[in-house]
Structure 1
Amino acid sequence: MGLIRVDLEKCERDGICVDVCPVHILVLNHDMRPEVAPGMAQYCIGCGHCVAACPHEALNNVRSPLAEQGKLPAYPVVDSETALAFLRSRRSIRRYTDFPVPRELIVRLLQAARYAPSGHNSQGISYIVVDELSALKRIRGLVADWMREVIVSQPEMANRLHMPGIVRAHERGEDLILRDAPALIVAIAPKDLRPAPITACLALEYVELYATTLSLGTCWAGYAQVCAQQYPPLAEYLRLKEEMGVLGMLMVGYPRYRYHRLPERNALQIEWFDAKSS
Protein backbone atom coordinates (compact mmCIF):
# COMPACT_ATOMS: atom_id res chain seq x y z
CA MET A 1 0.00 0.00 0.00
CA GLY A 2 1.23 3.50 -0.85
CA LEU A 3 1.13 6.48 1.46
CA ILE A 4 -2.53 7.31 0.75
CA ARG A 5 -5.55 5.38 -0.39
CA VAL A 6 -8.57 7.09 -1.95
CA ASP A 7 -12.08 5.63 -1.84
CA LEU A 8 -13.19 6.54 -5.36
CA GLU A 9 -16.87 6.09 -4.51
CA LYS A 10 -16.69 8.62 -1.68
CA CYS A 11 -14.24 11.13 -3.15
CA GLU A 12 -15.98 14.30 -4.35
CA ARG A 13 -12.83 15.61 -6.06
CA ASP A 14 -13.04 18.90 -4.14
CA GLY A 15 -9.29 19.13 -3.55
CA ILE A 16 -9.58 19.92 0.16
CA CYS A 17 -6.99 17.32 1.14
CA VAL A 18 -4.53 18.74 -1.37
CA ASP A 19 -5.09 22.30 -0.19
CA VAL A 20 -4.54 21.60 3.52
CA CYS A 21 -1.35 19.53 3.17
CA PRO A 22 1.29 21.66 4.95
CA VAL A 23 4.21 20.21 2.99
CA HIS A 24 2.46 20.17 -0.40
CA ILE A 25 3.07 16.55 -1.26
CA LEU A 26 -0.46 15.95 -2.59
CA VAL A 27 -1.65 16.96 -6.03
CA LEU A 28 -4.79 16.43 -8.11
CA ASN A 29 -4.35 14.12 -11.06
CA HIS A 30 -5.98 14.47 -14.47
CA ASP A 31 -9.18 12.99 -13.02
CA MET A 32 -9.16 15.52 -10.14
CA ARG A 33 -8.37 12.78 -7.64
CA PRO A 34 -5.71 13.33 -4.96
CA GLU A 35 -2.42 11.49 -5.26
CA VAL A 36 1.09 11.84 -3.90
CA ALA A 37 3.39 13.80 -6.18
CA PRO A 38 6.26 11.69 -7.56
CA GLY A 39 9.09 11.30 -5.06
CA MET A 40 7.29 13.28 -2.35
CA ALA A 41 5.96 10.52 -0.06
CA GLN A 42 9.13 10.65 2.05
CA TYR A 43 8.31 14.21 3.07
CA CYS A 44 4.97 13.37 4.70
CA ILE A 45 5.11 14.49 8.35
CA GLY A 46 2.13 12.36 9.41
CA CYS A 47 0.11 15.33 10.67
CA GLY A 48 -3.17 13.81 9.48
CA HIS A 49 -4.56 17.04 8.02
CA CYS A 50 -5.47 15.43 4.71
CA VAL A 51 -7.55 12.74 6.41
CA ALA A 52 -9.10 15.01 9.03
CA ALA A 53 -10.18 17.70 6.56
CA CYS A 54 -11.98 15.36 4.15
CA PRO A 55 -15.72 15.66 4.91
CA HIS A 56 -16.46 12.46 3.02
CA GLU A 57 -14.05 10.03 4.78
CA ALA A 58 -12.67 9.27 1.35
CA LEU A 59 -8.96 9.46 2.16
CA ASN A 60 -6.69 7.27 4.23
CA ASN A 61 -3.05 7.84 5.08
CA VAL A 62 -0.84 5.08 6.46
CA ARG A 63 0.95 7.58 8.72
CA SER A 64 -2.31 8.87 10.20
CA PRO A 65 -5.02 6.27 9.53
CA LEU A 66 -8.67 7.24 9.31
CA ALA A 67 -9.54 4.48 11.80
CA GLU A 68 -7.37 6.16 14.46
CA GLN A 69 -8.90 9.61 14.07
CA GLY A 70 -11.82 10.42 16.33
CA LYS A 71 -14.79 12.31 14.92
CA LEU A 72 -15.27 15.97 15.80
CA PRO A 73 -19.03 16.37 16.27
CA ALA A 74 -19.08 20.16 16.31
CA TYR A 75 -16.74 23.09 15.91
CA PRO A 76 -16.01 25.20 17.82
CA VAL A 77 -16.23 22.81 20.76
CA VAL A 78 -17.04 25.57 23.27
CA ASP A 79 -18.29 29.12 22.85
CA SER A 80 -15.80 31.98 23.03
CA GLU A 81 -16.89 33.36 26.41
CA THR A 82 -16.70 29.96 28.08
CA ALA A 83 -13.29 29.36 26.52
CA LEU A 84 -11.95 32.69 27.74
CA ALA A 85 -13.26 32.12 31.27
CA PHE A 86 -11.62 28.67 31.25
CA LEU A 87 -8.28 30.11 30.15
CA ARG A 88 -8.42 32.89 32.74
CA SER A 89 -9.33 30.48 35.53
CA ARG A 90 -5.98 28.71 35.36
CA ARG A 91 -3.74 29.65 38.30
CA SER A 92 -0.19 28.71 39.23
CA ILE A 93 -0.74 26.64 42.37
CA ARG A 94 1.86 26.80 45.14
CA ARG A 95 -0.16 25.35 48.01
CA TYR A 96 -1.26 21.73 47.78
CA THR A 97 -3.14 19.28 49.94
CA ASP A 98 -1.41 16.16 51.22
CA PHE A 99 -3.44 13.89 48.96
CA PRO A 100 -1.36 12.00 46.38
CA VAL A 101 -2.31 12.29 42.72
CA PRO A 102 -3.45 8.92 41.32
CA ARG A 103 -1.13 7.78 38.59
CA GLU A 104 -4.03 7.24 36.23
CA LEU A 105 -4.74 10.99 36.39
CA ILE A 106 -1.10 11.77 35.61
CA VAL A 107 -1.40 9.51 32.58
CA ARG A 108 -4.54 11.36 31.49
CA LEU A 109 -2.70 14.67 31.78
CA LEU A 110 0.17 13.43 29.67
CA GLN A 111 -2.15 11.87 27.12
CA ALA A 112 -3.61 15.35 26.63
CA ALA A 113 -0.09 16.74 26.19
CA ARG A 114 0.41 14.48 23.15
CA TYR A 115 -1.99 16.67 21.19
CA ALA A 116 -0.03 19.89 21.62
CA PRO A 117 1.47 21.42 18.46
CA SER A 118 5.04 20.59 17.56
CA GLY A 119 7.38 21.92 14.89
CA HIS A 120 7.01 19.88 11.70
CA ASN A 121 4.95 17.40 13.75
CA SER A 122 8.22 16.25 15.30
CA GLN A 123 6.65 15.56 18.73
CA GLY A 124 9.44 13.70 20.54
CA ILE A 125 8.69 14.70 24.15
CA SER A 126 8.75 12.02 26.84
CA TYR A 127 8.30 12.30 30.58
CA ILE A 128 9.71 11.28 33.93
CA VAL A 129 7.16 11.42 36.75
CA VAL A 130 8.39 11.65 40.33
CA ASP A 131 5.71 10.91 42.93
CA GLU A 132 7.63 9.25 45.76
CA LEU A 133 8.05 11.60 48.72
CA SER A 134 11.61 10.44 49.37
CA ALA A 135 12.57 11.15 45.77
CA LEU A 136 10.97 14.60 45.84
CA LYS A 137 12.88 15.34 49.04
CA ARG A 138 16.12 14.28 47.38
CA ILE A 139 15.44 16.54 44.40
CA ARG A 140 14.80 19.49 46.72
CA GLY A 141 18.10 18.79 48.44
CA LEU A 142 20.01 18.67 45.18
CA VAL A 143 18.46 21.95 44.03
CA ALA A 144 19.45 23.54 47.35
CA ASP A 145 23.03 22.24 46.89
CA TRP A 146 23.14 23.78 43.42
CA MET A 147 21.83 27.08 44.77
CA ARG A 148 24.57 27.17 47.40
CA GLU A 149 27.16 26.88 44.63
CA VAL A 150 25.47 29.62 42.60
CA ILE A 151 25.34 31.91 45.65
CA VAL A 152 29.15 31.65 45.88
CA SER A 153 29.99 31.74 42.16
CA GLN A 154 27.34 34.20 40.92
CA PRO A 155 26.13 36.14 43.97
CA GLU A 156 24.44 38.93 42.02
CA MET A 157 22.32 36.53 39.98
CA ALA A 158 21.63 34.39 43.03
CA ASN A 159 20.31 37.41 44.94
CA ARG A 160 18.21 38.47 41.98
CA LEU A 161 16.61 35.02 41.95
CA HIS A 162 16.10 34.97 45.73
CA MET A 163 18.32 31.94 46.17
CA PRO A 164 19.74 32.81 49.60
CA GLY A 165 16.23 33.07 51.06
CA ILE A 166 15.14 29.85 49.37
CA VAL A 167 18.12 27.98 50.80
CA ARG A 168 17.45 29.37 54.27
CA ALA A 169 13.82 28.25 53.98
CA HIS A 170 14.96 24.80 52.88
CA GLU A 171 17.25 24.53 55.89
CA ARG A 172 14.41 25.26 58.28
CA GLY A 173 12.13 22.75 56.57
CA GLU A 174 10.06 25.06 54.38
CA ASP A 175 9.80 24.01 50.74
CA LEU A 176 9.97 26.93 48.31
CA ILE A 177 11.52 24.74 45.61
CA LEU A 178 8.79 22.17 44.90
CA ARG A 179 6.15 23.66 47.22
CA ASP A 180 5.44 20.28 48.83
CA ALA A 181 3.73 19.16 45.61
CA PRO A 182 2.99 15.41 45.64
CA ALA A 183 4.15 14.91 42.05
CA LEU A 184 6.64 16.37 39.62
CA ILE A 185 6.45 15.98 35.84
CA VAL A 186 9.76 16.27 34.00
CA ALA A 187 9.61 16.78 30.23
CA ILE A 188 12.64 15.45 28.36
CA ALA A 189 13.66 15.11 24.72
CA PRO A 190 16.73 14.34 22.62
CA LYS A 191 19.18 17.24 22.74
CA ASP A 192 19.47 17.26 18.94
CA LEU A 193 15.70 17.61 18.39
CA ARG A 194 15.67 21.30 17.49
CA PRO A 195 11.92 22.04 17.89
CA ALA A 196 11.80 20.29 21.28
CA PRO A 197 12.17 23.31 23.63
CA ILE A 198 9.08 25.01 22.23
CA THR A 199 7.24 21.71 21.84
CA ALA A 200 7.82 20.91 25.51
CA CYS A 201 6.48 24.30 26.62
CA LEU A 202 3.35 23.83 24.52
CA ALA A 203 2.85 20.28 25.79
CA LEU A 204 3.17 21.32 29.42
CA GLU A 205 0.75 24.18 28.87
CA TYR A 206 -1.75 21.61 27.65
CA VAL A 207 -1.12 19.78 30.92
CA GLU A 208 -1.66 22.97 32.93
CA LEU A 209 -4.96 23.74 31.22
CA TYR A 210 -6.32 20.20 31.23
CA ALA A 211 -5.36 19.72 34.89
CA THR A 212 -8.04 22.17 36.00
CA THR A 213 -10.74 19.92 34.57
CA LEU A 214 -9.50 17.11 36.82
CA SER A 215 -9.52 19.34 39.94
CA LEU A 216 -5.72 19.41 39.85
CA GLY A 217 -3.37 22.36 40.08
CA THR A 218 0.06 22.88 38.57
CA CYS A 219 3.00 25.26 38.66
CA TRP A 220 6.25 25.39 36.73
CA ALA A 221 9.18 24.18 38.83
CA GLY A 222 11.64 26.65 37.36
CA TYR A 223 14.40 26.29 39.93
CA ALA A 224 14.47 22.51 39.62
CA GLN A 225 14.30 22.74 35.84
CA VAL A 226 17.31 25.02 35.52
CA CYS A 227 19.16 22.98 38.13
CA ALA A 228 18.66 19.81 36.07
CA GLN A 229 20.01 21.64 33.02
CA GLN A 230 23.11 22.99 34.78
CA TYR A 231 23.90 20.69 37.69
CA PRO A 232 24.98 17.15 36.73
CA PRO A 233 24.10 15.53 40.07
CA LEU A 234 20.38 16.18 39.52
CA ALA A 235 20.48 14.91 35.93
CA GLU A 236 22.29 11.82 37.20
CA TYR A 237 19.73 11.28 39.96
CA LEU A 238 16.94 11.42 37.37
CA ARG A 239 18.91 8.79 35.39
CA LEU A 240 18.92 10.92 32.27
CA LYS A 241 20.70 9.42 29.30
CA GLU A 242 23.51 11.54 27.89
CA GLU A 243 21.58 12.34 24.72
CA MET A 244 18.49 13.55 26.60
CA GLY A 245 17.86 17.00 28.05
CA VAL A 246 15.36 18.43 30.53
CA LEU A 247 13.06 20.96 28.88
CA GLY A 248 10.44 21.63 31.54
CA MET A 249 9.14 20.65 34.96
CA LEU A 250 5.67 20.97 36.42
CA MET A 251 4.55 20.47 40.00
CA VAL A 252 1.16 18.73 40.20
CA GLY A 253 -1.26 18.25 43.07
CA TYR A 254 -4.66 19.06 44.50
CA PRO A 255 -4.97 22.79 45.29
CA ARG A 256 -5.35 23.54 48.98
CA TYR A 257 -7.51 26.58 48.23
CA ARG A 258 -10.08 27.57 45.66
CA TYR A 259 -9.81 30.90 43.86
CA HIS A 260 -12.95 33.03 43.62
CA ARG A 261 -11.84 35.86 41.34
CA LEU A 262 -10.14 36.31 37.97
CA PRO A 263 -7.13 38.65 38.42
CA GLU A 264 -6.56 41.21 35.71
CA ARG A 265 -3.40 41.48 33.63
CA ASN A 266 -1.53 44.40 32.10
CA ALA A 267 -3.42 46.22 29.36
CA LEU A 268 -3.05 44.79 25.87
CA GLN A 269 -0.37 46.46 23.79
CA ILE A 270 -0.88 46.13 20.06
CA GLU A 271 0.26 48.07 17.02
CA TRP A 272 -1.10 47.56 13.53
CA PHE A 273 1.71 47.60 11.01
CA ASP A 274 1.29 50.19 8.27
CA ALA A 275 3.43 49.30 5.28
CA LYS A 276 2.75 52.69 3.67
CA SER A 277 4.60 54.51 6.44
CA SER A 278 7.75 52.42 6.02
Structure 2
Amino acid sequence: MSLIKVDSEKCGRDGICVEVCPLGLLSLDQEGRPQMLPAEAAFCIGCGHCVAVCSNGALDNSKNPISKHTAIPADYSPDPAQSALFLRSRRSIRHYEDKPVSREKILKLLDIARFAPSGHNSQAISYLVVEGPENLMRLSRIIVEWMRETVKLSPELAKRFNMPVVIREEEKSGARILRGAPHIIVAHAPADLAAAPVSTMLSLEYVELFAPALGLGTCWAGYAMACAQQFPAFSQFLKIPARRTITGILMAGYPRYRYHRLPARNPLDVAWFETG
Protein backbone atom coordinates (compact mmCIF):
# COMPACT_ATOMS: atom_id res chain seq x y z
CA MET A 1 0.00 0.00 0.00
CA SER A 2 1.40 3.39 -1.01
CA LEU A 3 2.17 5.83 1.80
CA ILE A 4 0.85 8.79 -0.18
CA LYS A 5 -2.16 9.19 -2.41
CA VAL A 6 -2.58 11.93 -5.00
CA ASP A 7 -5.86 13.14 -6.48
CA SER A 8 -4.79 13.76 -10.07
CA GLU A 9 -7.75 16.05 -10.76
CA LYS A 10 -6.91 18.34 -7.83
CA CYS A 11 -3.12 18.24 -8.17
CA GLY A 12 -1.71 21.51 -9.51
CA ARG A 13 1.63 19.87 -10.36
CA ASP A 14 3.54 22.79 -8.85
CA GLY A 15 6.02 20.60 -6.97
CA ILE A 16 5.73 22.57 -3.73
CA CYS A 17 5.09 19.42 -1.69
CA VAL A 18 8.33 17.98 -3.04
CA GLU A 19 10.26 21.10 -2.04
CA VAL A 20 9.02 21.23 1.55
CA CYS A 21 9.63 17.57 2.46
CA PRO A 22 12.27 17.84 5.23
CA LEU A 23 13.99 14.62 4.21
CA GLY A 24 13.64 15.04 0.46
CA LEU A 25 11.67 11.83 0.08
CA LEU A 26 9.20 13.07 -2.53
CA SER A 27 9.86 13.40 -6.24
CA LEU A 28 7.77 14.14 -9.30
CA ASP A 29 6.65 11.40 -11.65
CA GLN A 30 6.56 11.76 -15.42
CA GLU A 31 3.24 13.58 -15.25
CA GLY A 32 4.47 16.07 -12.64
CA ARG A 33 2.64 14.53 -9.71
CA PRO A 34 4.34 13.85 -6.37
CA GLN A 35 5.43 10.33 -5.63
CA MET A 36 7.28 8.51 -2.88
CA LEU A 37 9.15 5.35 -3.79
CA PRO A 38 8.70 2.33 -1.48
CA ALA A 39 12.35 2.42 -0.44
CA GLU A 40 11.97 6.04 0.69
CA ALA A 41 8.64 5.60 2.47
CA ALA A 42 10.33 3.84 5.40
CA PHE A 43 12.12 7.09 6.27
CA CYS A 44 9.00 9.30 6.31
CA ILE A 45 8.63 10.90 9.75
CA GLY A 46 4.96 11.76 9.24
CA CYS A 47 5.43 15.48 9.83
CA GLY A 48 2.53 16.34 7.52
CA HIS A 49 4.32 19.14 5.64
CA CYS A 50 3.49 17.72 2.24
CA VAL A 51 -0.22 17.47 3.05
CA ALA A 52 -0.44 20.84 4.80
CA VAL A 53 1.26 22.84 2.02
CA CYS A 54 -1.03 21.64 -0.77
CA SER A 55 -3.56 24.42 -1.36
CA ASN A 56 -5.76 22.09 -3.41
CA GLY A 57 -5.94 19.30 -0.83
CA ALA A 58 -4.75 16.88 -3.50
CA LEU A 59 -2.24 14.92 -1.44
CA ASP A 60 -2.81 12.52 1.43
CA ASN A 61 -0.26 10.75 3.64
CA SER A 62 -1.29 7.76 5.72
CA LYS A 63 1.17 8.74 8.46
CA ASN A 64 -0.52 12.15 8.81
CA PRO A 65 -3.82 11.95 6.93
CA ILE A 66 -5.57 15.03 5.65
CA SER A 67 -8.71 14.00 7.51
CA LYS A 68 -6.94 14.89 10.77
CA HIS A 69 -5.69 18.27 9.56
CA THR A 70 -7.32 21.57 10.50
CA ALA A 71 -7.73 24.10 7.72
CA ILE A 72 -6.15 27.54 8.25
CA PRO A 73 -8.55 30.36 7.27
CA ALA A 74 -7.38 32.03 4.06
CA ASP A 75 -7.57 35.48 5.67
CA TYR A 76 -5.57 34.49 8.78
CA SER A 77 -2.75 36.96 9.35
CA PRO A 78 -1.41 37.45 12.91
CA ASP A 79 -1.20 41.09 13.94
CA PRO A 80 2.45 41.88 14.83
CA ALA A 81 1.57 44.23 17.71
CA GLN A 82 -0.92 41.82 19.27
CA SER A 83 1.47 38.92 18.79
CA ALA A 84 4.27 40.85 20.53
CA LEU A 85 1.93 41.81 23.38
CA PHE A 86 0.86 38.18 23.74
CA LEU A 87 4.47 36.98 24.00
CA ARG A 88 5.69 39.79 26.25
CA SER A 89 2.80 39.50 28.70
CA ARG A 90 3.85 35.99 29.75
CA ARG A 91 4.95 35.96 33.38
CA SER A 92 6.46 33.28 35.59
CA ILE A 93 3.83 32.79 38.29
CA ARG A 94 5.12 32.09 41.80
CA HIS A 95 1.99 32.85 43.83
CA TYR A 96 -1.13 30.76 43.35
CA GLU A 97 -4.69 30.71 44.60
CA ASP A 98 -5.45 27.96 47.06
CA LYS A 99 -7.68 25.96 44.76
CA PRO A 100 -7.06 23.12 42.31
CA VAL A 101 -7.54 23.29 38.57
CA SER A 102 -10.05 20.85 37.10
CA ARG A 103 -8.63 17.90 35.22
CA GLU A 104 -10.66 18.97 32.21
CA LYS A 105 -8.84 22.33 32.12
CA ILE A 106 -5.44 20.70 32.74
CA LEU A 107 -6.05 18.40 29.78
CA LYS A 108 -6.99 21.37 27.63
CA LEU A 109 -3.80 23.12 28.73
CA LEU A 110 -1.59 20.13 27.95
CA ASP A 111 -3.25 19.32 24.66
CA ILE A 112 -1.58 22.33 23.05
CA ALA A 113 1.82 20.78 23.83
CA ARG A 114 1.13 18.10 21.21
CA PHE A 115 1.55 20.70 18.48
CA ALA A 116 4.97 21.97 19.51
CA PRO A 117 7.94 21.11 17.28
CA SER A 118 9.82 17.96 18.24
CA GLY A 119 13.15 16.62 17.05
CA HIS A 120 12.63 14.46 13.94
CA ASN A 121 8.90 14.69 14.69
CA SER A 122 9.47 12.18 17.48
CA GLN A 123 6.48 13.37 19.57
CA ALA A 124 7.77 11.23 22.43
CA ILE A 125 7.08 13.50 25.41
CA SER A 126 4.63 12.22 28.04
CA TYR A 127 3.23 14.15 30.98
CA LEU A 128 2.50 13.26 34.58
CA VAL A 129 0.32 15.72 36.51
CA VAL A 130 0.99 15.66 40.24
CA GLU A 131 -1.90 16.92 42.35
CA GLY A 132 -2.98 16.76 45.96
CA PRO A 133 -1.31 18.53 48.94
CA GLU A 134 0.15 15.31 50.36
CA ASN A 135 1.90 14.36 47.12
CA LEU A 136 3.26 17.85 46.58
CA MET A 137 4.48 18.05 50.19
CA ARG A 138 6.20 14.70 49.80
CA LEU A 139 8.00 15.96 46.69
CA SER A 140 9.06 19.11 48.51
CA ARG A 141 10.54 16.97 51.30
CA ILE A 142 12.45 14.88 48.77
CA ILE A 143 13.86 18.07 47.26
CA VAL A 144 14.88 19.33 50.71
CA GLU A 145 16.55 15.98 51.38
CA TRP A 146 18.52 16.34 48.14
CA MET A 147 19.48 19.88 49.07
CA ARG A 148 20.73 18.80 52.50
CA GLU A 149 22.87 16.15 50.86
CA THR A 150 24.21 18.73 48.40
CA VAL A 151 25.06 21.10 51.26
CA LYS A 152 27.13 18.34 52.87
CA LEU A 153 28.85 17.03 49.74
CA SER A 154 29.19 20.23 47.69
CA PRO A 155 28.85 23.20 50.07
CA GLU A 156 30.12 25.77 47.58
CA LEU A 157 27.69 24.61 44.92
CA ALA A 158 24.85 24.60 47.45
CA LYS A 159 25.73 28.13 48.53
CA ARG A 160 25.86 29.34 44.93
CA PHE A 161 22.28 28.16 44.43
CA ASN A 162 21.13 29.56 47.79
CA MET A 163 20.17 26.11 49.09
CA PRO A 164 20.70 26.75 52.84
CA VAL A 165 18.29 29.70 52.68
CA VAL A 166 15.77 27.78 50.58
CA ILE A 167 15.84 24.89 53.08
CA ARG A 168 15.09 27.26 55.97
CA GLU A 169 12.29 29.01 54.10
CA GLU A 170 10.74 25.72 52.99
CA GLU A 171 10.74 24.42 56.57
CA LYS A 172 9.11 27.66 57.71
CA SER A 173 6.42 28.08 55.05
CA GLY A 174 6.19 24.77 53.21
CA ALA A 175 5.75 26.74 49.99
CA ARG A 176 9.19 28.00 48.99
CA ILE A 177 10.19 25.27 46.55
CA LEU A 178 6.93 24.50 44.73
CA ARG A 179 5.45 27.92 45.52
CA GLY A 180 2.15 26.56 46.77
CA ALA A 181 1.16 25.49 43.26
CA PRO A 182 -1.77 23.04 43.27
CA HIS A 183 -0.24 21.07 40.42
CA ILE A 184 3.12 20.30 38.89
CA ILE A 185 3.45 18.99 35.37
CA VAL A 186 6.28 16.50 34.92
CA ALA A 187 7.43 15.82 31.37
CA HIS A 188 9.28 12.57 30.71
CA ALA A 189 10.72 10.90 27.63
CA PRO A 190 12.73 7.86 26.54
CA ALA A 191 16.16 8.10 28.17
CA ASP A 192 17.91 7.38 24.87
CA LEU A 193 16.08 10.08 22.88
CA ALA A 194 18.70 12.73 22.09
CA ALA A 195 16.09 15.29 21.05
CA ALA A 196 14.09 14.96 24.27
CA PRO A 197 15.50 17.97 26.22
CA VAL A 198 14.89 20.46 23.40
CA SER A 199 11.53 18.93 22.47
CA THR A 200 10.45 19.19 26.10
CA MET A 201 11.47 22.84 26.32
CA LEU A 202 9.43 23.62 23.23
CA SER A 203 6.35 21.68 24.33
CA LEU A 204 6.30 23.13 27.84
CA GLU A 205 6.82 26.62 26.46
CA TYR A 206 3.68 26.12 24.38
CA VAL A 207 1.95 25.23 27.66
CA GLU A 208 3.34 28.35 29.34
CA LEU A 209 2.19 30.62 26.53
CA PHE A 210 -1.28 29.06 26.33
CA ALA A 211 -1.93 29.03 30.09
CA PRO A 212 -3.08 32.68 30.44
CA ALA A 213 -5.80 32.10 27.83
CA LEU A 214 -7.29 29.59 30.28
CA GLY A 215 -6.86 31.88 33.27
CA LEU A 216 -3.87 29.86 34.47
CA GLY A 217 -0.26 30.60 35.30
CA THR A 218 2.89 28.49 35.23
CA CYS A 219 6.53 28.60 36.26
CA TRP A 220 9.50 26.35 35.59
CA ALA A 221 10.37 24.35 38.71
CA GLY A 222 14.15 24.64 38.62
CA TYR A 223 14.98 23.11 41.99
CA ALA A 224 12.61 20.22 41.34
CA MET A 225 14.19 19.58 37.94
CA ALA A 226 17.72 19.62 39.33
CA CYS A 227 16.64 17.20 42.04
CA ALA A 228 15.00 14.90 39.48
CA GLN A 229 18.24 14.77 37.51
CA GLN A 230 20.47 14.00 40.49
CA PHE A 231 18.36 12.30 43.16
CA PRO A 232 16.73 8.96 42.20
CA ALA A 233 14.18 9.20 45.03
CA PHE A 234 12.31 11.88 43.06
CA SER A 235 11.59 9.67 40.03
CA GLN A 236 11.03 6.65 42.24
CA PHE A 237 8.30 8.40 44.21
CA LEU A 238 6.57 9.42 40.96
CA LYS A 239 6.97 5.89 39.57
CA ILE A 240 8.50 7.11 36.33
CA PRO A 241 8.76 4.04 34.05
CA ALA A 242 12.12 2.38 33.55
CA ARG A 243 14.13 3.62 30.57
CA ARG A 244 12.38 6.99 30.74
CA THR A 245 13.78 10.16 32.26
CA ILE A 246 12.27 13.39 33.55
CA THR A 247 13.00 16.18 31.08
CA GLY A 248 11.07 19.17 32.42
CA ILE A 249 8.82 20.32 35.27
CA LEU A 250 6.29 23.15 35.43
CA MET A 251 4.26 24.44 38.35
CA ALA A 252 0.68 25.32 37.40
CA GLY A 253 -2.40 26.86 38.95
CA TYR A 254 -4.58 29.97 39.17
CA PRO A 255 -2.45 33.12 39.60
CA ARG A 256 -3.07 34.98 42.84
CA TYR A 257 -2.12 38.33 41.34
CA ARG A 258 -2.58 40.11 38.02
CA TYR A 259 0.27 41.95 36.34
CA HIS A 260 -0.41 45.38 34.84
CA ARG A 261 2.76 46.26 32.96
CA LEU A 262 5.36 44.75 30.65
CA PRO A 263 8.81 44.82 32.31
CA ALA A 264 11.80 46.11 30.37
CA ARG A 265 14.53 43.79 29.16
CA ASN A 266 18.13 44.27 28.06
CA PRO A 267 18.66 45.78 24.60
CA LEU A 268 18.88 43.35 21.71
CA ASP A 269 22.40 42.04 21.20
CA VAL A 270 22.87 41.02 17.57
CA ALA A 271 25.70 41.05 15.04
CA TRP A 272 25.85 40.39 11.32
CA PHE A 273 28.47 38.13 9.78
CA GLU A 274 29.41 39.32 6.32
CA THR A 275 31.92 38.01 3.80
CA GLY A 276 34.94 40.04 2.77
Q: For 1:65-80, what aligned pairs fall within 5 Å after superposition? A: 65-74=65-74, 76-80=76-80
1:132 aligns with 2:107: no
How far apart are the structure 1 equivalents of 2:126 and 2:275? 43
TM-score by length of 1: 0.97
1:188 aligns with 2:185: no
Structure 2 counterpart SS, 1:97: coil
Is the 2:2–2:38 Cα contact (8 Å) retained in structure 1?
no
- Specify the alignment match of 2:197 in structure 1: 197
Structure 2 counterpart SS, 1:39: helix
1:144 aligns with 2:144: yes
Taking a change above 3 Å as real, the CA distance of residues 42 and 240 of structure 1, as seen in their structure-2 partners, is: same
- Specify the alignment match of 1:168 in structure 2: 168
Taking a change above 3 Å as real, the CA distance of residues 76 and 154 of structure 1, as seen in their structure-2 partners, is: farther
Q: For 1:80-99, what aligned pairs fall within 5 Å after superposition? A: 80-99=80-99
Q: CA RMSD in A?
A: 1.0
Structure 2 counterpart SS, 1:40: helix
How far apart are the structure 2 equivalents of 1:174 and 1:57? 56
Residue 242 of structure 1 deviates from its aligned partner by: 2.4
How far apart are the structure 2 equivalents of 1:76 and 1:64? 23
One-letter code of the match for 1:156?
Answer: E
Is the 1:123–1:196 Cα contact (8 Å) retained in structure 2?
no
Taking a change above 3 Å as real, the CA distance of residues 257 and 173 of structure 1, as seen in their structure-2 partners, is: same
How far apart are the structure 1 equivalents of 2:143 and 2:180? 14
Taking a change above 3 Å as real, the CA distance of residues 159 and 269 of structure 1, as seen in their structure-2 partners, is: same
1:160-207 CA distance string (max 9 Å, x none): 111001100121134211000000000000000110110000000000
Moved over 4 A (4+): none
How far apart are the structure 1 equivalents of 2:99 and 2:75? 37
1:30-88 CA distance string (max 9 Å, x none): 11011013510111010000000000010000000000001011465421110000000
- Specify the alignment match of 2:235 in structure 1: 235
Is the 1:178–1:251 Cα contact (8 Å) retained in structure 2?
yes
One-letter code of the match for 2:265?
Answer: R
Q: For 1:1-278, what aligned pairs fall within 5 Å after superposition? A: 1-74=1-74, 76-276=76-276
5+ residue gaps, structure 1: none
One-letter code of the match for 1:40?
Answer: E
How far apart are the structure 2 equivalents of 1:93 and 1:108? 19
1:117-174 CA distance string (max 9 Å, x none): 1111111000110011110010001000100000111111111111001100121134
What is the percent sequence identity of the aligned residues? 52
5+ residue gaps, structure 2: none
How far apart are the structure 2 equivalents of 1:172 and 1:234? 22
TM-score by length of 2: 0.98
How far apart are the structure 2 equivalents of 1:111 and 1:128? 13
Is the 1:21–1:49 Cα contact (8 Å) retained in structure 2?
yes
Taking a change above 3 Å as real, the CA distance of residues 219 and 45 of structure 1, as seen in their structure-2 partners, is: same
